[in-house]
Amino acid sequence: MAEVHNKEVRSYNMSRIRSKNTKPELLVRKKLYELGFRYRLHVKSLPGKPDIVLNKFKVIIQVNGCFWHGHNGCKNFKIPKTNTLWWEEKIGKTKSADLANYRKLEELGWSVIAIYQCQLSKNTLDFTMNGLKNSILSANTVKNGVKIS
């Protein structure tokens, strides 16, 4: 049992280390760039060091792994049968940290869009990117009743 736990902790730690510049994140960045969007990455001065920051549109995009960020109702998110409580706690903490950061960012006037890894499969990528593009363009056009763009 302890052996399994250790392996899980190890791969958890490794995945945390690699949580920047993940494959799904790189894919979203590439597609955004092709669509003509320019952005800053992992901005340290903002809560939670958000992945992708589009200053011009006041939009932040977070690219989340389905498992680590506990994507509700997603087939990629199943709590392991061993050490269940440990996993629930870990993922629960990640989720509440995510939400706390999103709230802080929104208080600072940013719109936050969270994209999940499962939305970036071959079959869903175009659909997701299209929706993302529309969301970015319309995110802050009307704020406090004043049209910005």
d(CA 75, CA 71): 9
**C-alpha of 72 from chain center:** 13
The residue among 54 and 120 lying less far from Zn ion, judged by its C-beta, is 120
The residue among 111 and 117 lying less far from Zn ion, judged by its C-beta, is 117
- Size of site (CB under 5 A) for Zn ion: 6
The residue among 74 and 114 lying less far from Zn ion, judged by its C-beta, is 74
Strands 40-41 and 52-54: antiparallel
Q: Are 101 and 93 in contact (CB under 8 A)?
A: no
Look at residue 46 and give its three-state secondary structure.
coil
Q: Where do the H-state alpha helices sit in 1-83?
A: 2-17, 23-34
The residue among 47 and 66 lying less far from Zn ion, judged by its C-beta, is 66
Q: Contacts with Zn ion in 96-135 (CB under 5 A)?
A: 116, 118
Site mask for Zn ion (CB under 5 A), range 12-31, x = bound: --------------------
d(CA 42, CA 58): 15
Beta-bridge mates of residue 115: 63
Q: How far is the CB of 91 from Zn ion (least distance, A)?
A: 13
Q: How far is the CB of 99 from Zn ion (least distance, A)?
A: 17
Site mask for Zn ion (CB under 5 A), range 66-95, x = bound: x----x--x-x-------------------
Interface positions with Zn ion (CB under 5 A): 66, 71, 74, 76, 116, 118
